[in-house]
Structure 1
């Protein structure tokens, strides 16, 4: 069985949805499971609904805008009397009803119930469209299959229960389902982290013992750098699981960090291909004697540099580091880079949930702290250390770290 993942850009409008069918014509749709993201920028639009809802402003008009944009896409795909129009409208009615009845002040809980609507709607539209044109498939609610704990916005997968659920699917059929979402024990929606649809596809691939998994992007495959941010980048045709995991860890946006682990455990080949040119080979991630180790460039923006030091000039010891990391875990602030000296600790942090000021407030009760916001972290994998100077050109370096042909520089 094959697992395909289509992101938001690949289903952003009616023509894009039709293009998904063209991609499937080149690949074959027999024994295939499709994992679909929300259409275009729908997730961002639903986050705006969340913002207005918690500010007690007019979120209804924002929901109406999203509804109308989806109905417009639907008009470009179906006859006027098709049942999909009522189904799309019902999704938005359910969203309005949830927000009307909700009494929970837990932002993360409400976020997951609201933002997950994007995937539910896009997958239903795609499933119905494919059925109409002859690509027979069953629509699945991913929340019935992927089970998690109640860590809203960062769900931790219950692999035993999830594998038991997914393994019951017939492998002679084709399916369309959602990325990004699962559910906890009370069947409330839990998202798997922003951009988590790749991870969803990997979960299904692992549990189905898939022959291969492919994610379809608007780029030719995994490049030696984001072509929008770096010049003279090239396609990596073959890379190992280990190299892909390292690139994802350092922030390569083309691969979600959690995606590779379940695939590597069962040696499931992983492809990154272009939905614009689907017949081209793209990038293969897996075991191969053709795997490359080319110099590659990764940029993580909107980072925070935090310098922490002891007030009495004592060493930064294990108990200090434990306190600091427990606090970061509490607020779900992720470490992109760390470097310590005798009396100080420098951390480059990713503040996904906007909690860095709370972290700083608590830490400053025991330590001296200094924050620099909106910094960038450059990482060069497989760097040619003999030409190190080129990495520093036109950059104000705040922190640097070099290890095993990996160069990391924090700049502002």
Structure 2
């Protein structure tokens, strides 16, 4: 379809009736927005997670009450709440049935169904907000088209199936309606509810845009675009007008919280422009992400990711020997452990792992992997580190890596540095306690006006 925009509104953008009304203003001002993907209202997903993690029915019911309070606060502001009351009541009744089960633990499939209710509720409410603004809106169940595998909690989408189903079930609706649907949620071939994991709502919007060959994906959130670094770290951070796909991917990978790396994959495959802006202040502009940009400065941004683990493996067997790294990465792969940075010397290799958000099970996998590694090499583990990435262009060449960067780095106590693997980033590790000060120092040196 020509001039098609898919807009995603995050949790803060649909937090309450006033926030939804601001999003309705954006939709009214942009006729090209034909598909809208919504997150759960702020706070709802956390309550749903609480429900899945506790065994006490009484505690679950308290969380359910919080979800109902957020839902009915919006419902009560609608002019015609009776139009959506049956749908809301049906969703809450099903959720109540799940909550009241006297289970010690929910199955993975039940957890995903429970976690889906936030988006399912907000999509019904936002559709009615649009209808009351004279926008022909239709609430569409994304599980009809967002086909995934059965890896509950982090389901993988079936790209071909999604496209086929979108052409069959979604495209016919776009001629006469603005479609409102759910992010984060999918369905397997058995029509069981699945979820796409962290960043799932943004990813959903990009997948739908790819299937519909849209021109633009808009990500509306609570910040005015993507900044040169996290504005919470320094007042000197400023919004970036444009980013290339390569730059944005590096920023997302190394800690920029505004956009998730998976979101960019469909956009890159289909060459769809991505816009990131604030639904609270849409007039302030935002950040455009595209394949081609007008300017590619040496330094674009600084990303920070805390809670990193550094593992150093040392063995004389590495000297002039083949197969050592193959053996190491085979063990890590079998335990589903992903490595970020790697540096090597003649008899040692250093690896970094992202410890942030690790589950107890994941920590157990690391312990098992380390036990295997200790069978043939010395292993040391350091925690409490932060990964800082300088994002830019041609950082692998003398032209890009100018003296000001290395002059600044000389004054920083680094534990590890990784440079040359990518022309778009230079990464290093510092102590968590020093990370914010280092980011401020680097930002002042590289981005001072």
Query: Do these two structures clear the TM 0.5 threshold for a shared fold by scoring above it?
Result: yes
Superposed, 1:12-411 pairs within 5 Å as: 12-28=15-31, 32-53=34-55, 58-79=59-80, 82-100=82-100, 108-168=108-168, 169-170=171-172, 171-172=174-175, 173-293=177-297, 294-301=299-306, 303-309=307-313, 313-315=316-318, 317-329=324-336, 333-341=337-345, 342-350=347-355, 352-354=357-359, 355-368=361-374, 369-382=379-392, 384-387=401-404, 388-391=406-409, 397-403=414-420, 404=423, 406-410=425-429, 411=431
Contact 2:419/2:425 (8 A) holds in 1: yes
Contact 2:313/2:380 (8 A) holds in 1: no
Deviations 1:212-270 (A, max 9, x none): 11111222212211211234122221222222222222222111101122112222222
Structure-2 change in CA distance of 1:365 and 1:239 (3 Å): closer
Aligned match for 1:10, one of 8, 13, 18: 13
Contact 1:338/1:348 (8 A) holds in 2: no
Following superposition, the deviation at residue 161 of structure 1 comes to 1.0
CA distance in 1, matches of 2:62, 2:272: 45
Structure 2's unaligned 5+ residue stretches are 396-400, 433-449
Report SS of the residue matched to 1:295.
Answer: strand
Report SS of the residue matched to 2:267.
Answer: helix
Report SS of the residue matched to 1:8.
Answer: coil
Contact 2:244/2:293 (8 A) holds in 1: no
CA distance in 2, matches of 1:208, 1:319: 41
Structure-2 change in CA distance of 1:157 and 1:289 (3 Å): closer
CA distance in 1, matches of 2:178, 2:244: 29
Structure-2 change in CA distance of 1:57 and 1:359 (3 Å): farther
Report SS of the residue matched to 1:46.
Answer: helix
CA distance in 2, matches of 1:57, 1:324: 43
Structure-2 change in CA distance of 1:46 and 1:227 (3 Å): same
Contact 1:240/1:291 (8 A) holds in 2: no
Deviations 1:77-124 (A, max 9, x none): 345x52433432322221122344587956543331211111111111
Following superposition, the deviation at residue 374 of structure 1 comes to 4.5
Q: Alignment length, in residue pairs?
A: 403
Contact 1:304/1:371 (8 A) holds in 2: no
Report SS of the residue matched to 1:65.
Answer: helix
When structure 1 is superposed on structure 2, of 226-235 and 134-143 the one drifting more is 226-235
Following superposition, the deviation at residue 289 of structure 1 comes to 4.7
CA distance in 2, matches of 1:19, 1:313: 63
Structure-2 change in CA distance of 1:116 and 1:336 (3 Å): farther
Report SS of the residue matched to 1:146.
Answer: coil
Q: Structure 2-normalised TM-score?
A: 0.82
Contact 1:14/1:73 (8 A) holds in 2: yes
Contact 1:250/1:379 (8 A) holds in 2: yes
Contact 1:5/1:197 (8 A) holds in 2: yes
Structure-2 change in CA distance of 1:230 and 1:83 (3 Å): same
Contact 1:195/1:256 (8 A) holds in 2: yes
CA distance in 2, matches of 1:27, 1:178: 20
Structure 1's unaligned 5+ residue stretches are none
